[in-house]
Amino acid sequence: MEIFFTYHAIQRKTEREDWMIRTPTRAQTRKSAPALEDLMRRKGRWSYRRDQETGLIMVYCIVNNLEVYCGVIEDDSSQKVIITTYYSYTSKMRKKLYPKGFDNYEPFDIEDPEFD
């Protein structure tokens, strides 16, 4: 499965000061995307759910309990994850991902051959 980053995700990561891979400019963020992708593959915990309204598969990846990358998979046959935004993994973000302590996303392994 391939991972792509939108302009908004790159801009948001550049604006924050608490990144794991330091990138003070958008150009450097774009250049560091392969290293970030590798980090997400190795250390990320991936989860998904299908949005009933849009039909899109919503995904998020938590990296080292520090960063959350949110994105979508267009349809079941698509082998592309499009990361649309980035957040730091705070208690506020945890409450959005796990309302009332329940996980409303299903975990999956991005390295699973099913997703290649």
Per-residue model confidence (pLDDT) at position 44: 92
- 105 domain residue, yes or no: no
- 38 domain residue, yes or no: yes
Please tell me the distance from the alpha carbon of residue 54 to that of residue 76, in angstroms, as a whole number. 13
- 113 domain residue, yes or no: no
- 109 domain residue, yes or no: no
pTM reported for the whole predicted model:
0.80
Least confident stretch, 75-79, 80-84, 108-112: 75-79
The count of domains in the chain is 1
Please tell me the distance from the alpha carbon of residue 49 to that of residue 60, in angstroms, as a whole number. 9
Model confidence pLDDT, tens digit, residues 34-67:
888 888 899 999 998 888 888 888 899 999 888 8
Radius of gyration of the chain (CA): 14
- 107 domain residue, yes or no: no
Calculate what percentage of the chain has a pLDDT beyond 70.
Answer: 82
- 59 domain residue, yes or no: yes
